[in-house]
Homo-oligomer: A and B are copies of this chain.
Amino acid sequence: MSKKILVLAGDGIGPEIVTEAVKVLDVINDKYNLGFELTEDAIGGAAVDKYGVPLADSTLATAREVDAVLLGSVGGPKWDNIERSIRPEKGLLKIRSELGLFANLRPAILYPQLADASSLKAEFVAGLDILIVRELTGGIYFGEPRGIRMLESGERQGYNTLPYRESEIERIVRVGFEMAQLRNKKLCSVDKANVMEASQLWREVVNDIAKDYPDVELSHMYVDNAAMQLVRLPKQFDVIVTENMFGDILSDQASMLTGSIGMLPSASLDENGKGMYEPSHGSAPDIAGKNIANPLATILSAAMMLRYTFKHTESANLIEKAVGLTLDKNLRTADIMSLGCDKVSTSEMGNAVVAEL
């Protein structure tokens, strides 16, 4: 089996953190003789600079061929004022859509070593372990018609469309149920069925599909209530499944409950387990190039790649364990630094994880 990986470091801190994750993949490759073949290319602002567009056709062609993509992060002030159609984020949206990466898995896990980092009281977040399953290729992100038009009244109107087909809902909801089966068997589907027809259909499909997963306890929650409950009692959740925009909002909210988004990986999967793996955090242009960013979210994203695309649980576990051991040794990058710990650079953190492998 071929094991081709495309590395898209992207912008801001992307190159630095990806470098550390690649170190880890190299060690795993040698250790287990996995035969990884890594290729590098540009995405986002870096691709605008290199190719004139945030995702070149040639890059997309390579992405289609490989088994997995490791992504850093995209965007930054340098490209804030360029033409809308070639903004860095468009590269990200395009690769998600073109590769059919509909299932976005975003864990929000509180590492016991970092318990103090949360703005929430310890008793509300100790042991927090939520998985958000976000639909990533549908809804208002890609819905047509969309645009800004001139009305007859002479004023402009911006408009977007939020569409969901039954099959689109079904496939992501099944991922939600399957993930719940592997965890604590609780699935909360989030929608706004009291207002939106797209959500009404969503809820109907969820209830239909639930029959195939009698072992999973299903609940429904309106999105406004979910945003409240994530603050009130976050540990009530196991797996949350939701549509693209709600997932964008709730997964960011949930990740911040941990206080250390520099620790949180993500996976975006297609129907066959092919995936793109990236940290949940952004490109942090303010600290780019300083060798101080936290590479652990990207390293943990590499672990997710091993787990979900290469089905190599052993090495995925090993990486996750190595990250835990590194934290146990009180090594901290600036973003997770606390009293009595040792502050390390991006590369020192990467090396420390490698040393544990």
Query: B197–A141 contact, CB under 8 A?
Result: no
- A87 at the binding interface (Cβ < 8 Å): yes
- Nearest B residue to A197 via CB reads B158
Q: Which of B141, B151, B195, B233 contacts A165 (CB 8 A)?
A: B151
Selected interface stretch from A11-19, A28-36, A242-250, A319-327: A242-250
- Nearest B residue to A122 via CB reads B121
Selected interface stretch from A1-9, A251-259, A287-295: A251-259
- Which residues of chain A (155-202) have a CB below 8 Å from chain B? 155-167, 192, 194-202
Bound Cα distance from A227 to B256, whole angstroms? 9
- A66 at the binding interface (Cβ < 8 Å): no
* Chain A residue total in the interface (Cβ 8 A): 61
Query: A249–B233 contact, CB under 8 A?
Result: no
Bound Cα distance from A223 to B252, whole angstroms? 9
Q: Do A257 and B245 contact each other (CB < 8 Å), given the known contacts A197-B158, A224-B252? A: no
- Nearest B residue to A199 via CB reads B158
- Nearest B residue to A230 via CB reads B253
Bound Cα distance from A240 to B25, whole angstroms? 43
Q: Do A157 and B151 contact each other (CB < 8 Å), given the known contacts A119-B121, A256-B231? A: no
Bound Cα distance from A80 to B229, whole angstroms? 21
Bound Cα distance from A198 to B141, whole angstroms? 12
Interface centre among A199, A251, A253 (most CB of B within 10 A): A253
- Nearest B residue to A259 via CB reads B232
- A211 at the binding interface (Cβ < 8 Å): no
Bound Cα distance from A141 to B201, whole angstroms? 16
Query: A140–B197 contact, CB under 8 A?
Result: no
- A337 at the binding interface (Cβ < 8 Å): no
- A148 at the binding interface (Cβ < 8 Å): yes
Query: B223–A158 contact, CB under 8 A?
Result: no
Closest 3 CB pairs of A and B: A158-B201, A158-B198, A227-B253
Contacts A/B (CB < 8 Å), 7 sampled:
A140-B196, A146-B196, A157-B165, A224-B249, A225-B252, A227-B249, A249-B249
